[in-house]
Each structure stands twice: as structure tokens, then as C-alpha cells.
Amino acid sequence: MLIASIADQIVRGVDAVTDTLSAPFSDPVIRLGVTGVSRAGKTVFITSLVANLMDRGRMPQLVAARDGSIRTAYLQPQPDDTLPRFNYETYLGLLTAPEPAWPEGTRQISELRLSLKVQPRGLLSGFASPRTVHLDIVDYPGEWLLDLGLLDLSYAQWSAAALARAKDRPKGGAFLAQLAGVDPEADLDETQARALAESFTAHLNASREAGYSDCTPGRFLLPGDLAGSPVLTFAPLPTITGAKHTLGREFARRFESYKRHVVKPFFRDHFAKIDRQVVLVDVLGAIHAGPRAVEDLRVAMAAILGAFRPGRNAFLARLFQGRRVEKILFAATKADHLHHAQHGQLTAIAEALLRDAKDRADFAGATTAAMSIAALRATVEDTVTHRDGPLEVVRGRLLETGKQAAFYPGKLPGDPAHLLGPARAGAQAWLDADYAVMNFAPARLDLRPGDGPPHIRLDKAAQFLIGDRL
């Protein structure tokens, strides 16, 4: 341990020296992390952000776009040769086609470099030539961040927590029933191990579908090329004594292996290099799913945001070595599902979730903000007459039928505590309200030259995240 940390420091030290030496000769780089659990809106966010940075007509809240400091923006080969490239052209093509469609879900990390030519501002700016700022955008699943918490847990501790969660979550009963017939002290049987892992994974996936966010190990949901490997073939077990060659002992070993070979490399190779971070959250989706999903979101967000606290555990502290993520934006996505009259309430809920996480985690000087945004606006606003008076709705094309429909998701409370309170108290359903969500298809676009795709507050988000560096 000691030797490892000294070696780490030496490597870091050398890094630091070369950084300073090369700094005057190389262009500044901003590494922007984009995360959120599956379907939170990462792909759409990055696609629209990049399109709107290339065509800046709809970005007035980004100061460098409004005042013309950004001269041009163009895509360049990314710096990391071994990371998949974010498939920007394909996604934009889908979203802007005559029959627009949402991109397929992505389940892995990817990267894209956008380079901006920026005219320096200030006294002598007229004489200076434009400088280049590289924006390296890294898209990675929020599920992977939740795994950070596993580093602090033994297999027995994780098992206890996972079994407790399984009790009243989807397909948890089936897994527990299967477990009842298993003796952890019996010799390892690979067929049984696989069956347990499959049943546990089915339970995690069903929980995720039902709106639960806290479903670890994250790579069970998004296995990529690790599918079927031993590091993903384990499940929680009740108390084990751990004699050699037993199922219990082997699962405990695989759990440790998962931490070492899956969790740590991600944090070391990707997470520790991020300067700015946006965490996307489908708050409306969770509200629709009910109080338990909202409570789970609150806990998961605290865990996700906890990953940005370098003092969180020894492993992270060593990785960051005093470096830190400078800005963290917590964004409630898909705000176009709500008339703007209710955006304030949505932002307040996002703020309350962020505050809760902040109360427990000091982000060591990182600036944080909460916003409600829509990366790609799929609706227009309207007012319809309802038996109780006028109702402020949004109108869009339904994904299932392609038909236009007006939609009212329900009245969000002005005080977020009216939702977060019952959620925390373990309510099963909302008492006095019902919230709906609707799947809208992306709107057909008719873009003027110089305009990017329509959005809500994407420019404000960009100003917060990168505005100070342009």
C-alpha cells in the first residue's frame, strides 16, 4: 500500500513537471464529464451542446457566444486513442432527420473533442490573435460512479445492504427465493453461480426499469465486453464464514476483483482527469415513478455527488492529489415536458436534491449549481381550457403514435419538501397528486442558418460549465 502510494506520487510528480513545462506551448484543454444514469439524457445533451456550440444562434446566455468571442468551433480527433469516439454525426443526423428519432441508448464511455477559436477579450484584445481552447467531452454512465461506494465496503457489508434492498424491489423476491435454496458454505458450482448472478442482474435491471437509481454493481447493468466474465458472475449472499473453495469465499473474491479490475481503473484513467462535470437527472421520470423512486434518486444523487469529494476515501484522495473538479452542474433534464410556468418548481426540486447531497459532502471548493434544462426541445407551450379553468400544457408529437397531443404532467408543489418529505418517510404513493410522463418524439426541425437545435437553458448550462474559460 505504502509503496503503491509513493509510486503514485512519483508518477504524478513527473506528470506535474511535464504539465508545467509543456503548458506555454500547448492549447488549454477543458475536460467536461457528462454523466447520469441510463436514459437520463447524456447522448442528447452532448449532441445538442456540440451542435449549438458550432451554430451559436441560440446560445445568448453563453457570453462568449453572444459577444462574438467564439469565432469558430470544429471537431478534431480526440486525445485518447483507446476510447470509443462519441458518435456525434450519427446522433445529430437522427435528431435532425425529416423524420427525427431519438438515438439508441449507449452503454459505455465515449469521448469527443470540440475545438473553439476564441478571440481574447480585454484591453489589448484587438491585437491578440485568437487562441484555441479544446473542449474534451467525456460521456460515461452514472452507474459507474455509484460503484465508488463499493470500495468502502467488504463483501459481507455489501451483501447485507443489497439483500435488504432486494426485499421490496422488482424481481428481488425471485432472487431471494432462489437464494433460499443455496448453501454459501457448499463447494463452488459454476452453474449455480451463474444462475444466481443472472437472477440478481435481472433484479437490478428490473429495479432500474422501475425508476430505482441505486443499483450496484453498476457494470452488471452495463456489462459491455465484460459480460459473462467471472468479475460479473457473483451475487450477494447471507452471512458466510468463508472456508476455501466455497461459493461464499469465491463470491467474496470476485467482489474484490470487481473493485480492483473494474471500479478502480475507471476512476484512475477517466474520472480523475475531469475538470468540469454535469450530472443529468430525469427528476420528472422519478416523480412519475413514485415516492420510492424519488427517495432512491435522492440517495443515489448523494452517492454520485459524493464521488466529487476527493476526501471521500483514501483511494480517491490519492488519485486527485489536491486536484479537484472545479464545477459541478446538477441538471434536471427534459424540462420541455413542463410548461415554463412550472420550471421554477422543477429547479427547486433539483436544488433541494443537490443541497441534500451537499449537506453531507463538502465538495472541497467546487462550485455547484442546479438547473432545469432540455437539451432538445420536443414540445411547444399552449394553454387549454379545462373544467377548472385554463391549464398550461405542452404540445408535441407522441412517440408511439406520431400524433400531436397536449400534455399536462400534474402540478408540481412550490415547496420541494412536499415531494421529498413523503418520499423520505417511505410513502408508497403520492397522496394528493398524480404525475404523468409522456414520450414525445423529437420535433421536426426547420433550422435557420447559424441556429443550433432548439433547447431550454442549454446556453445557461454551458456558461456555468465552461464560460469562464472562454
Which one among 96, 106, 257, 321 touches Mg ion, defined by CB under 5 A? 106
User: Rounded to the nearest 10 degrees, how much is the dihedral formed by the CA atoms of 148, 154, 156, 159?
Assistant: 10
Contact yes or no for 454/391 (Cβ under 8 A): no
Site for ligand GDP in 253-292 (CB under 6 A): none
Instruction: Report the DSSP pairing between strands 110-118 and 131-139.
Output: antiparallel
Q: Is residue 259 near Mg ion by the rule CB under 5 A?
A: no
Is the bond preceding residue 217 a cis peptide, omega within 30 degrees?
yes
Which one among 246, 333, 372, 463 touches ligand GDP, defined by CB under 6 A? 333
- Please name the amino acid found at residue 453: P
Of 171 and 337, the one with the shorter C-beta distance to ligand GDP is: 337
CA distance 49 to 44: 8
Q: Is the dihedral of CA 64, 65, 71, 75 positive or negative?
A: positive
Q: Binding partner of residue 213 among ligand GDP, Mg ion, none, CB under 5 to 8 Å per kind?
A: none
Q: Is residue 376 near ligand GDP by the rule CB under 6 A?
A: yes
Quote the least distance from Cβ 441 to ligand GDP, whole Å.
Answer: 8
Q: Is residue 43 near ligand GDP by the rule CB under 6 A?
A: yes
Which one among 306, 440, 465, 466 touches ligand GDP, defined by CB under 6 A? 440
Q: Is residue 43 near Mg ion by the rule CB under 5 A?
A: yes
Q: Is residue 38 near ligand GDP by the rule CB under 6 A?
A: yes
Which one among 150, 237, 353, 375 touches ligand GDP, defined by CB under 6 A? 375
Q: Which listed range, 3-11, 102-110, 180-188, 441-449, lies at the site for Mg ion (CB under 5 A)? A: 102-110
Of 388 and 400, the one with the shorter C-beta distance to ligand GDP is: 400
Q: Is residue 78 near Mg ion by the rule CB under 5 A?
A: no
Write each residue from 378 to 397 as x if it is in contact with ligand GDP (CB under 6 A), else as -, in one continuous string: x-------------------
Question: CA distances (Å), 388 to each of 154, 393, 405, 406, in order?
Answer: 56, 14, 20, 16
Could you list the beta-strand ranges (E) of 79-168: 110-118, 131-139
Q: Is residue 132 near Mg ion by the rule CB under 5 A?
A: no
Of 284 and 375, the one with the shorter C-beta distance to Mg ion is: 375
Name every residue whose Cβ is closer than 8 Å to that of residue 296 and which is 6 or more positions away in sequence. 211, 212, 213, 214, 286
CA distance 270 to 145: 11
Interface with ligand GDP: number of residues (CB under 6 A): 21
Of 50 and 375, the one with the shorter C-beta distance to ligand GDP is: 375
Q: Binding partner of residue 218 among ligand GDP, Mg ion, none, CB under 5 to 8 Å per kind?
A: none
Quote the least distance from Cβ 70 to ligand GDP, whole Å.
Answer: 23
Q: How would you class 279 by CB atoms within 10 Å of its CB: exposed for 0-12, middle for 13-18, buried for 19 or more?
A: buried
Of 105 and 421, the one with the shorter C-beta distance to ligand GDP is: 105
CA distance 416 to 202: 33
Q: Which listed range, 105-113, 245-253, 380-388, 400-408, lies at the site for Mg ion (CB under 5 A)? A: 105-113
HSE-CB of 365 using CA atoms within 13 angstroms = 8
Q: Binding partner of residue 375 among Mg ion, ligand GDP, none, CB under 5 to 8 Å per kind?
A: ligand GDP
End-to-end CA distance of the chain: 41
Grid coordinates standing for 457?
437553458
Contact yes or no for 184/237 (Cβ under 8 A): yes
Number of H helices, E strands in the chain: 17, 10
Instruction: Report the DSSP pairing between strands 327-332 and 70-76.
Output: unpaired
Of 327 and 377, the one with the shorter C-beta distance to ligand GDP is: 377
Q: Is residue 106 near ligand GDP by the rule CB under 6 A?
A: yes
Of 36 and 236, the one with the shorter C-beta distance to ligand GDP is: 36
Q: Is residue 47 near Mg ion by the rule CB under 5 A?
A: no
Q: Is residue 109 near ligand GDP by the rule CB under 6 A?
A: no
Interaction site with ligand GDP (CB under 6 A): 36, 38-44, 102-103, 105-106, 333-334, 336-337, 374-376, 378, 440
Interaction site with Mg ion (CB under 5 A): 42-43, 106
